[in-house]
C-alpha cells in the first residue's frame, strides 16, 4: 500500500481527492486541513507521498514544504490553482524540492475531477517512487554565492551580442531537450551552465500546464546567461537562445521564408503528454539532418521522447540520457537507454559539460 497524505484547506477537495485515490485500491489515505497539521502528520506517520495545496491558512504550502524537506523529507506533488500567482508559487515549490505539480480543478469541480483524475493519480503514483534531491538546496546556495558575479558578466555580454535570425542553411547544430517529472530544477541545472555565447539554439519540452511554462521561462531567463523564452507565437531560431514549449500545446520546428522558426501547435491527440517530446523531435528531423542534432532526455515518467530520440540516434544524431542515479523518475531517460538510443548516460551535473563538448 502507498501511504498518501492529502493536505488541503478545502473540505470538498479533500473529499474528492480521498475518493479518487481510495478507488485505486492501493492507497492508504490520510487527510490534513492545512500546512501546520500536514507537517505534524508527516513527522508522525512518514507518508510515502503527499499532495500539498499552495494557498492555505495558518501555514501555506510553501512554508510547509520548506520545513518538510528538512524535518521529514518525502515526495510532494503540489496542487496549484491555474493563476499567475499560483504558477510563481508552484515554481518556487519545485525549487524547494517538490517533485511535480497538478492543477486544481475549477468550475464544476466534480466534473473536472473526472477529467483530471487519471493524470493526478499517475503523477502521485510516480512521485511515490521518486528520488529526492537532498543536496539541491546546498547546490543552489553554492551556485548563487559563487556564480552571481560570473552570471552578471555573462548576461552583460549577452546583451552586447548582435544575434540576428539566420537562414536555415546556417543554423548548424541544435540541441533538443525533453523532461517531465522533476524537470524544472534539472533544466535550471543544465541551462544555467551554458555561456552567453552558446553556439546553438535549444528547443525544450517540459510537461507542464500552459500557465506554468511561461513563468518557468521567465525564471530561467533571469537565472541563465543564455536567453530563455516561451514559444507562444512563431519565433525565429537563433543560436544562444532556449525555446520553451508552451504547456497544453506542442512545440514544432517549421520553415518560413526568413529561415527556421519555433512555433506552438494545438496539442495532437496522437500523443499522450504535452508539450510532446516525440512530436518536437520528429518535426526537427523533417527539416534538419540528424547529424546536426543533439537530443537530451532527462527525468520524467513515461516514455515520451524515447522513440523519436532513438530514431535520431539511428540516423546519425547524438543523444544523452540522464542516469538513474540522479533522475527523480527514471522513466523517459530509462526508456531511451532500454531502446538502445542513448549514446551517453550521465548524471545530471555532467550533462551540460558533455553538451558543450559535443557541440563545440
- Whether pLDDT at 137 is above 90: no
Pairwise CA distance, residues 120 & 126, whole Å: 10
- Whether pLDDT at 108 is above 80: no
- For residue 360, give Cα distances in angstroms to 52, 248, 316: 43, 34, 17
Domain count, the chain: 2
Q: What's residue 357's pLDDT?
A: 97
One domain for residues 143 and 122: no
One domain for residues 118 and 201: no
What element of type H or E holds 261?
strand 259-266
One domain for residues 212 and 319: yes
Q: What's residue 186's pLDDT?
A: 96
From the candidates 53, 250, 304, 323, which is the catalytic residue?
A: 304
pLDDT 10s digits, 274-292: 999 999 999 999 999 999 9
Q: Is 207 a catalytic residue?
A: yes
Report the CATH number that the domain containing residue 56 is assigned in CATH. Answer: 3.40.50.2300
One domain for residues 285 and 238: yes
One domain for residues 120 and 144: no
Residue 116 structural domain: 2-128
pLDDT 10s digits, 298-339: 999 999 999 999 999 999 999 999 999 999 999 999 999 999
Determine if residue 263 is left, alpha or beta; phi over 0 gives left, psi from -120 to 50 gives alpha, anything else beta.
beta
Pairwise CA distance, residues 284 & 278, whole Å: 10
235-236 vs 259-266, strand pairing mode:
antiparallel
Q: 5 — phi, psi (to 5°)?
A: -110, 120
Pairwise CA distance, residues 359 & 174, whole Å: 8
Q: Which pLDDT band, with edges at 50, 70 and 90, does 164 fall under?
A: very low
One domain for residues 115 and 164: no
Determine if residue 248 is left, alpha or beta; phi over 0 gives left, psi from -120 to 50 gives alpha, anything else beta.
left
Q: Which pLDDT band, with edges at 50, 70 and 90, does 133 fall under?
A: confident
Report the CATH number that the domain containing residue 271 is assigned in CATH. Answer: 3.40.50.180
Q: 116 — phi, psi (to 5°)?
A: -85, -15
Q: What's residue 87's pLDDT?
A: 82
One domain for residues 156 and 266: yes
Q: What's residue 145's pLDDT?
A: 42
- What is the average pLDDT across 220-245? 97
Cell of 178: 525533453
Q: Which of 283, 281, 307 is nearest to 295 (CA)?
A: 281
Final residue of a domain: which of 128, 159, 186?
A: 128
One domain for residues 159 and 297: yes
One domain for residues 165 and 259: yes
Q: What's residue 337's pLDDT?
A: 98
Q: What's residue 141's pLDDT?
A: 40
One domain for residues 98 and 63: yes
Final residue of a domain: which of 104, 128, 152?
A: 128
Final residue of a domain: which of 66, 94, 128?
A: 128
From the candidates 66, 207, 250, 274, which is the catalytic residue?
A: 207
Could you identify the residue written with the cell 514549449? Answer: 245
Burial class (CB in 10 A: 0-12, 13-18, 19+), 354: middle
Q: Which of 328, 81, 113 is nearest to 215 (CA)?
A: 81
End-to-end CA distance of the chain: 49
Q: What's residue 160's pLDDT?
A: 47
Q: Which of 23-27, 64-68, 147-151, 249-253 has the lowest mean pLDDT?
A: 147-151
DSSP secondary structure of 205-242: EE---HHHHHHHHHHHHHH-SSEEEEESS-EE--TTEE
> What is the percent of the chain with per-residue pLDDT over 90, rounded to a whole number?
74
Q: Which of 22-26, 104-108, 129-133, 283-287 has the lowest mean pLDDT?
A: 104-108
From the candidates 9, 66, 180, 323, which is the catalytic residue?
A: 180
Average pLDDT, the chain: 89
One domain for residues 84 and 221: no
Quick one: CA torsion of 19, 23, 29, 31, rounded to 10 degrees? Answer: 0
- What is the average pLDDT across 198-219? 94
pLDDT 10s digits, 38-94: 999 999 999 999 999 998 998 999 999 999 999 999 999 998 876 666 788 888 999
Q: What's residue 110's pLDDT?
A: 72
One domain for residues 65 and 144: no
Q: Which of 32-46, 99-113, 134-148 has the lowest mean pLDDT?
A: 134-148
Pairwise CA distance, residues 45 & 320, whole Å: 39
Pairwise CA distance, residues 213 & 121, whole Å: 22
Q: What's residue 11's pLDDT?
A: 94
* Count of H-run helices and E-run strands, the chain: 12, 15
Amino acid at each position: 500500500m502507498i501511504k498518501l497524505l492529502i493536505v488541503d484547506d478545502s473540505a470538498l477537495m479533500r473529499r474528492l481527492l480521498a475518493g479518487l485515490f481510495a478507488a485505486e485500491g492501493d492507497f492508504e489515505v490520510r487527510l490534513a486541513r492545512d500546512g501546520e497539521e500536514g507537517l505534524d502528520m508527516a513527522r508522525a506517520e512518514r507518508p510515502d507521498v503527499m499532495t500539498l495545496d499552495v494557498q492555505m491558512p495558518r501555514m501555506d504550502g510553501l512554508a510547509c514544504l520548506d520545513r518538510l524537506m528538512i524535518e521529514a523529507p518525502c515526495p510532494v506533488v503540489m496542487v496549484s490553482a491555474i493563476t499567475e500567482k499560483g504558477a510563481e508559487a508552484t515554481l518556487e515549490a519545485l525549487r524547494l524540492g517538490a517533485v511535480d505539480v497538478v492543477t486544481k480543478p475549477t468550475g464544476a469541480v466534480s466534473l473536472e475531477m473526472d477529467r483530471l483524475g487519471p493524470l493526478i493519480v499517475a503523477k502521485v503514483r510516480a512521485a511515490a517512487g521518486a528520488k529526492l534531491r537532498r543536496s539541491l538546496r546546498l547546490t543552489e546556495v553554492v551556485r548563487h554565492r559563487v556564480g552571481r558575479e560570473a552570471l552578471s558578466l555573462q548576461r552583460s555580454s549577452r546583451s552586447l551580442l548582435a544575434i540576428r535570425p539566420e537562414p536555415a542553411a546556417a543554423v548548424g547544430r541544435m540541441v533538443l531537450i525533453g523532461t517531465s517529472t522533476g524537470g524544472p530544477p534539472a533544466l535550471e541545472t543544465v541551462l544555467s551552465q551554458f555561456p552567453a555565447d552558446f553556439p546553438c539554439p535549444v528547443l525544450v519540452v517540459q510537461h507542464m500546464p500552459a500557465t506554468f511554462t511561461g513563468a518557468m521561462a521567465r525564471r530561467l531567463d533571469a537565472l541563465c546567461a543564455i536567453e530563455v523564452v516561451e514559444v507562444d507565437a512563431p519565433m525565429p531560431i537563433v543560436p544562444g537562445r532556449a525555446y520553451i514549449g508552451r504547456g497544453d500545446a506542442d512545440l514544432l520546428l517549421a520553415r518560413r521564408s526568413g529561415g527556421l522558426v519555433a512555433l506552438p501547435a494545438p496539442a495532437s491527440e496522437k500523443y499522450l503528454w504535452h508539450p510532446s517530446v516525440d512530436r518536437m523531435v520528429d518535426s526537427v528531423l523533417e527539416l534538419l539532418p540528424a547529424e546536426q542534432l543533439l537530443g537530451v532526455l532527462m527525468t520524467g515518467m513515461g516514455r515520451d521522447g524515447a522513440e523519436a530520440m532513438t530514431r535520431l540516434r539511428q540516423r546519425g544524431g547524438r543523444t544523452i540520457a540522464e542516469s538513474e542515479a540522479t533522475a527523480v523518475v527514471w522513466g523517459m531517460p530509462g526508456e531511451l537507454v532500454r531502446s538502445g538510443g542513448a549514446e551517453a548516460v550521465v548524471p545530471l551535473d555532467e550533462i551540460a559539460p558533455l553538451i558543450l563538448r559535443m557541440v563545440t
